[in-house]
Amino acid sequence: MALNKTHAAAFCAALLAGGCTFAEDALFPGTANSGQSAINAEQMSNDGPPALGSSSFDPVGVTPGSSSGTYVGAKAATLRNDLQGLQATLGRQNQTLQQIRAETVQDSQRYHGTVAAINARLQVGTTPGNPILNQQWNAAQNELDRITDDVLKMNRLTNEVTASSTMAGYLLESVRAARSLSGAIDEDHRQLRILEDETNRTVVMVERLLGELTDDAVRQQQYVASEKQNLNTLALGIKNGALFVGSLSNQPNSSFTAPAPRIAAAPSEQPLVTIRFDKPNVNYEPALYAAVKSALDRRPNATFDVVAVAPVGANPGQQTVAAGNARRNAESVLRSLTNMNMPASRVRVSSSTSPSASASGEVQVFVR
């Protein structure tokens, strides 16, 4: 989301207090006024689970037939019984589908209610690691697991309906083949025509059932995968007592298309963020998130360099220790970006030295 001037000022204060600096205005001049509308748009776009199908697949029924006393008539009676059995199976599968849908809706409502409560608390501000929010996060995780179970039920039902689809196709071919048998009377062919029409309608119904069920399962699987990433981001917000609105992986074209041509062949001369590890437990994550999210809003295909900058040591031993500390700090920043769901393909880690770096080293993040 883009930060408005008030938010930007607040974040800059937090950055300076936490040993970080943020060069947004220099890297992206004249683009810091679209904040609140972007927040609202993103919240609205992520406002619930995908819609489930609403069709009910009730069997079309089988017309009774009378015995003609011929072999073909007996064959028609057998096929009629097979169609009745298939439609009974489809009726049970339809009931199972409607039950799974109802359970999925209930589980999704509970999940989103819990997540909304966490976001509302983070929005107004809270203490880092608030135990109440941690409990709510665990509840949300359990509720998302129930949605995962619903998806597994859909997949099992898909396998069952696939078997019914195969049976329906075989039955239709059998009815058509029976019409070519010798020894039939007109009544046999009349009953076979009716049976063929009803079997064909059953084939159409089971294919529609299979298609809608498959669509439901695929959409829910994608939804659960996305929400798992969002829960990771939410956990990071609870850890810091700050609202991180949206996963970094949800940026346009972030993981499904090739990056656009770079504006420059090398990283910007000025880092987007500089994090100085000049005290224990530097709380850099809210500032890092704000900077990277803002950069992605302005350049959706951006990638990033995380550079471990070590001071120049007085002797080789000191230089080695300083370089190791800087590298570990850079790896910590990389893990933070991963927890924010930044795709690994868009981040590169490297090392350098600088005589101007603080004694404890620093990490610089560049936009590419």
**Which tens digits make up the pLDDT trace of 138-148?**
999 999 999 99
Domain ranges of the chain: 5-46+252-367, 71-240
Give whole-number Cα distances, 358 to 163, 258, 310, 317, in Å: 67, 37, 8, 17
Categorize the per-residue pLDDT at 55 as very low, low, confident or very high, splitting at 50, 70 and 90: confident
Across the range 278-287, mean pLDDT stands at 82
CA atoms within a 13 Å half-sphere pointing along the CA-CB vector of 243: 16
Confidence of residue 247 (pLDDT cuts 50, 70, 90): low
Is the domain defined by 5-46+252-367 classed in CATH 3.90.1570? Answer: no
Going by C-alpha positions, the residue among 350, 356, 343, 352 that lies closest to residue 306 is 350
Would the pLDDT of 22 be above 70? Answer: no
Report the relative pairing of strands 304-311 and 347-354 from DSSP bridges.
parallel
Q: How far apart are CA 179 and CA 70, in angstroms?
A: 13
Q: Per residue in 94-137, pLDDT tens? A: 999 999 999 999 999 999 999 999 989 988 888 888 999 999 99
Q: What stretch of H or E contains 364? A: strand 362-367
pTM: predicted TM-score of the whole model, two decimal places: 0.62
